[in-house]
């Protein structure tokens, strides 16, 4: 196929004469004779590289087949015309676009079987052709949605396989490389790929969990990885543009972050979840809705930021959130954040009594695991506070402050030491926890030198003050 060949002859006049003749034959019931007449002239126009005439003829041929409702003939006509030797690319593209426009009507009036036949014909025609990559993607998306619908239908023999097929059909499309597809449409396709991959992953995880238990390996991990890779193909700056927030009837930005939140929750990456909710909250339409979506997004930021393990990034985000005026309007959430930013002990029984009843009713903390994670974060906060105020403390006293057993205290302390959050050393025979590392001679000398410099500075300042006082007194006496 090539459109670079120079046009040798203009067949416009011949086309104007042949099309009415062919239409007359077709109306007389001689469909094949009318098509043969068109095909004969089409060969001449194609060989002469007359694009306009060829396009008119091929479109007329498939249109007559469609009008006659002869779907086997329609499918064969599309296939044959697209595979003709030296067929012009633009002519094939015109056929495909015309056939795609009929798909909704065929599905509604002639049934799924005819619709599927035409879909497969179009997928066959467009396969391997770069200039038809966008029409192929659009047709494949429709087929994928069909298989997804089967996965939810009781009539399907294998619902799991139908969902898998829907995901595989879309995953085979590398739309990010398509130069002919608009950026907005690419984003929509990538999000659909991610959505189906996550659906398959959740389905596999549920099956494995049911059979072997939650701690078993396998499941949909491969799909989770592919979904994360898909997320990296989406440009977040592009989603921030006002014109691109809403596309094809749904909010692209919100859909993207919803998928990323699902991925992060699967891996218990609470800090990532909080960051994704923060991006959602920054969306103007969400932030302005202070009583519904905006409030809900801000609440989720609070819940997941306090659930996230302590590190510099988590601490920075927590303090910025605490300073945000919007948080003051949410009294309970504000006080919860305040507990974590204040360098004071939080007794778990008190936290449970104040916040437990409300938090356990939320979707976030209805999960027993997340409630236990919150308990863990409270304990970790308390250990960091103790490490700031105590150089040494008995294990018994530390256990009492944390409201834990001795074994739980040691396990939590060991985990924080390994992660580098605190420095501690436990003398188990003596039952003492040391929160200050042994200092080297160099550190001691450096501190001594610093202290001496401060002392000499104070002596010098005092001496200068005394001299000034003595000089003033001598002037008064004189």
- The answer to whether residue 104 sits within a structural domain is yes
Looking at per-residue confidence, does 320 or 283 come out higher? Answer: 320
Residue 200 reports pLDDT greater than 50: yes
pLDDT of residue 374: 94
Count H helices, E strands: the chain? 24, 5
Residue 444 reports pLDDT greater than 80: no
- The answer to whether residue 33 sits within a structural domain is yes
Residue 206 reports pLDDT greater than 80: yes
Residue 244 reports pLDDT greater than 80: no
Classify strands 425-427 and 432-434 as parallel, antiparallel or unpaired: antiparallel
pTM (predicted TM-score):
0.82
Residue 468 reports pLDDT greater than 80: yes
Coil, helix or strand at residue 309: coil
User: Residue range 176-192: average pLDDT?
Assistant: 91
Q: How many domains does the chain have?
A: 1
Q: What is the pLDDT of residues 362-403, one digit of tens each?
A: 999 988 999 999 999 999 999 999 988 888 888 889 888 888
CATH value at residue 99: 1.25.40
- The answer to whether residue 99 sits within a structural domain is yes
Q: What is the mean pLDDT of the chain?
A: 88
Q: What is the pLDDT of residues 286-319, one digit of tens each?
A: 887 767 888 899 999 999 999 999 999 999 999 9
- The answer to whether residue 119 sits within a structural domain is yes
- The dihedral through the CA atoms of 417, 422, 427, 428 has a sign that is negative
pLDDT of residue 157: 75
Nearest alpha-carbon partner for 402 in 383, 374, 425 = 383
- The answer to whether residue 115 sits within a structural domain is yes
Looking at per-residue confidence, does 2 or 104 come out higher? Answer: 104
- The answer to whether residue 440 sits within a structural domain is no
- The answer to whether residue 37 sits within a structural domain is yes
pLDDT of residue 213: 52
Structural domain of residue 79, as residue ranges?
A: 1-127
Residue 283 reports pLDDT greater than 50: yes
pLDDT of residue 98: 95
Rounded Cα distance, 233 and 223, in Å: 16
Rounded Cα distance, 139 and 135, in Å: 6
pLDDT over 70 for what percent of the chain? Answer: 94
User: Residue range 1-29: average pLDDT?
Assistant: 85
pLDDT of residue 216: 46
Residue 88 near residue 104 (C-beta atoms within 8 A): no
* Main-chain phi, psi angles of 75, to 5 degrees: -65, -40
Range with lowest mean pLDDT among 234-248, 398-412, 460-474: 234-248
- The answer to whether residue 101 sits within a structural domain is yes
User: Residue range 158-173: average pLDDT?
Assistant: 90
Per-residue confidence at 248, pLDDT binned at 50, 70, 90?
A: very low
């Amino acid at each position: 196929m090539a459109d670079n060949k120079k046009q040798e002859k203009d067949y416009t006049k011949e086309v104007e004469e042949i099309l009415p003749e062919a239409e007359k034959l077709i109306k007389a019931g001689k469909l094949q004779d009318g098509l043969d007449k068109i095909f004969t002239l089409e060969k001449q126009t194609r060989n002469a590289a007359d694009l306009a005439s060829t396009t008119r003829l091929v479109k007329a041929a498939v249109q007559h087949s469609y009008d006659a409702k002869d779907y086997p003939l329609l499918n064969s006509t599309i296939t044959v015309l697209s595979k003709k030797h030296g067929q012009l690319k633009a002519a094939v593209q015109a056929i495909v676009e015309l056939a795609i426009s009929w798909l909704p009507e065929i599905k509604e009036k002639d049934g799924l079987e005819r619709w599927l036949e035409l879909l497969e014909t179009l997928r066959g025609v467009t396969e391997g052709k770069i200039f038809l990559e966008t029409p192929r993607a659009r047709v494949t998306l429709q087929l994928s949605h069909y298989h997804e619908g089967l996965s939810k239908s009781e009539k399907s023999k294998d619902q799991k396989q139908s969902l898998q097929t829907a995901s595989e059909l879309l995953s085979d499309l590398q739309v990010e490389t398509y130069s002919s597809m608009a950026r907005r449409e690419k984003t929509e396709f990538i999000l659909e790929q991610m959505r189906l991959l996550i659906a398959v992953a959740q389905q596999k995880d549920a099956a494995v969990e049911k059979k072997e238990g939650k701690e078993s390996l396998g499941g949909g991990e491969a799909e989770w990885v592919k979904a994360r890779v898909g997320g990296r193909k989406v440009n977040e700056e592009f989603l921030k543009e006002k014109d691109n927030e809403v596309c094809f009837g749904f909010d692209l930005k919100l859909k993207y972050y919803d998928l990323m939140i699902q991925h992060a929750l699967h891996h218990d990456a609470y800090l990532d979840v909080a960051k994704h909710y923060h991006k959602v909250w920054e969306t103007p339409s969400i932030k302005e809705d202070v009583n519904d979506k905006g409030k809900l997004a801000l609440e989720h930021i609070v819940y997941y930021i306090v659930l996230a393990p302590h590190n510099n990034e988590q601490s920075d985000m927590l303090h910025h959130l605490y300073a945000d005026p919007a948080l003051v309007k949410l009294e309970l959430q504000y006080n919860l954040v305040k507990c974590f930013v204040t360098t004071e002990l939080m007794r778990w029984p008190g936290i449970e009594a104040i916040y437990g009843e409300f938090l356990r009713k939320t979707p976030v903390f209805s999960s027993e695991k997340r409630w236990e994670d919150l308990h863990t974060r409270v304990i970790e906060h308390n250990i960091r506070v103790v490490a700031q105020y105590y150089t040494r403390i008995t294990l018994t006293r530390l256990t009492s402050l944390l409201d834990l057993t001795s074994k739980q205290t040691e396990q939590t302390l060991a985990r924080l030491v390994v992660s580098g959050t605190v420095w501690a050393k436990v003398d188990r025979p003596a039952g003492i926890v040391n929160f200050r590392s042994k200092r080297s001679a160099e550190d001691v000398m450096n501190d001594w030198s610093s202290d001496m410099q401060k002392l000499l500075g104070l002596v010098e300042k005092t001496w200068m003050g005394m001299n000034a006082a003595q000089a003033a007194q001598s002037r008064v006496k004189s």
